[in-house]
Amino acid sequence: MKDGIKYESLSGSPQGGIISPLLANVYLHYIDIKMDELIKEGTPIRKTNPGYRKAYHQGMHHKLGIDSQINLNPKTRVEYIRYADDFIIGIKGKYDKAETIKNQVTQWLERDLKLTVSKDKSKIVKANKGTRFLSYMVKVNPTSSKLTKKTHKKSLNGRVQIQVPKAKAKEYGYEYNWLKRGKIKHDETLTSRDELEIIRTYKTIVRGIIQYFCLANNLNALTHLTYLAEYSCLKTLARKRKTTIAKVRKKFNRSATWSIPYSNKGKTRYESWTVYPWDKIKKMRNYKENPDITINPYLFQGRTNLTDRLKAEICEKCGKTTQLQIHHIGTVRNKNRKSVMNKSTKVLCIDCHRNITNQQMHDIRLNNKNKRTKRINS
């Protein structure tokens, strides 16, 4: 929850009170301690290979292909990662070993912590098939491709990768009403909004999803998501203008992409549709903001048009120059949408706007209460 608004987390972070994530981590810390003990027993620390050290000083380690460390127990290794109430255990070993660890962890949770383990979510899968964790697909990709002709080593064999699930683009398409029965559609909830708000709403959603999945190895899976969002946005604009996608694209065509023009402080500016090539997504990997807080897709949607708010430069009541909105003078009940948008307006900051709106709502409730009292008395 941020600024009084609850955001659905992509990574499954616990929602509710402010202290809920902290209490969950304190309670589940017992599992972390138990898993550390289990990992130390099943995964001893690797020792440095003396043959590698000698070859390294002679500059021959690349040619000889000697491993830098000696694995004391090469048959079994255990890795454990937990985020909130979701955790994943990676095991290099036989299926019986994985079954034993699963039963042991289930016993800790149910007997010691009195927690119920979901049998549908708790399962053992092969590493090459993969499993979902925090919306990512975690898997090991075996490959037959060789790194070099001389060493004949496989390039990615045995390496763990995190990927965007192939079906994720369609899942988001249905979630945000971009798809219907497998076909791209317009968003009816945005057709009444300003064109600048429409494109910014779509861009906000796409940017938030890409920033979360920018760590994935298969970034090409995100191109289908941007394709769905772009054509759904064009269909929404075409629906608003009662025309075709081709005419909308031709009207707003600008350079290699298309843009929505708007006026800000007397200058004409353009809101362009963002294209996300691989190198641009790769730069997002150093993004330092909390990935759990998804950007509010309705951030640019309010009672007033975004273009009108951009033209406003100062609050007419207190003189502030930030977070400005357009206030409709008088109540707007029992009026159609066109008459509401054409009413007399006043430029106010967000605090002054809230104070005036709350006072209006108080007067309306008081008036309705007086009417009910008169009816009862009569």
What pLDDT, on a 0 to 100 scale, did the predictor assign at position 186? 94
Please report whether residue 22 resides in a domain: yes
271 with 259: CB under 8 angstroms? yes
Residues 276 and 340 in one domain: no
First and final C-alpha spacing in the chain: 48
Residues 114 and 129 in one domain: no
Number of H helices, E strands in the chain: 12, 14
Instruction: Quote the number of domains for the chain.
Output: 4
What pLDDT, on a 0 to 100 scale, did the predictor assign at position 70? 47
Please report whether residue 61 resides in a domain: yes
Please report whether residue 305 resides in a domain: no
Other C-beta atoms lying within 10 Å of the C-beta of residue 35: 21
Please report whether residue 247 resides in a domain: yes
pLDDT averaged per 10 residues, the chain (length 378) = 57 59 85 86 60 56 47 68 88 87 90 86 88 90 62 63 90 93 92 91 92 87 90 95 94 89 86 83 66 52 57 74 73 52 70 76 57 58
What pLDDT, on a 0 to 100 scale, did the predictor assign at position 64? 46
Task: Give the residue among 229, 187, 191 at the shortest CA–CA distance from 208.
Answer: 229
pTM score, whole prediction: 0.63
Given 97, 124, 151, the domain boundary residue is 124
Residue 219's domain comprises: 168-300
Given 278, 300, 322, the domain boundary residue is 300
DSSP single-letter state for residue 342 = T
Residues 206 and 282 in one domain: yes
What pLDDT, on a 0 to 100 scale, did the predictor assign at position 50? 62
Residues 318 and 280 in one domain: no
Residues 134 and 69 in one domain: no
For residue 318, what are the β-bridge partners? none
Residues 6 and 98 in one domain: yes
CA 90 to chain centre: 25
Rg of the chain on CA atoms, in Å: 29
Please report whether residue 262 resides in a domain: yes
Cα-based distances in Å from 152 to 56, 146, 147, 209: 21, 6, 7, 39
Residues 286 and 316 in one domain: no
Q: Which tokens hold the place of 287?
A: 């993004």
Please report whether residue 287 resides in a domain: yes
Residues 272 and 204 in one domain: yes
Please report whether residue 179 resides in a domain: yes
Residues 368 and 345 in one domain: yes
Residues 283 and 249 in one domain: yes
Other C-beta atoms lying within 10 Å of the C-beta of residue 236: 26
Given 265, 300, 335, the domain boundary residue is 300
Residues 118 and 140 in one domain: no
Residues 239 and 343 in one domain: no
CA atoms within 13 A on the CB side of 269: 10
What pLDDT, on a 0 to 100 scale, did the predictor assign at position 256? 81
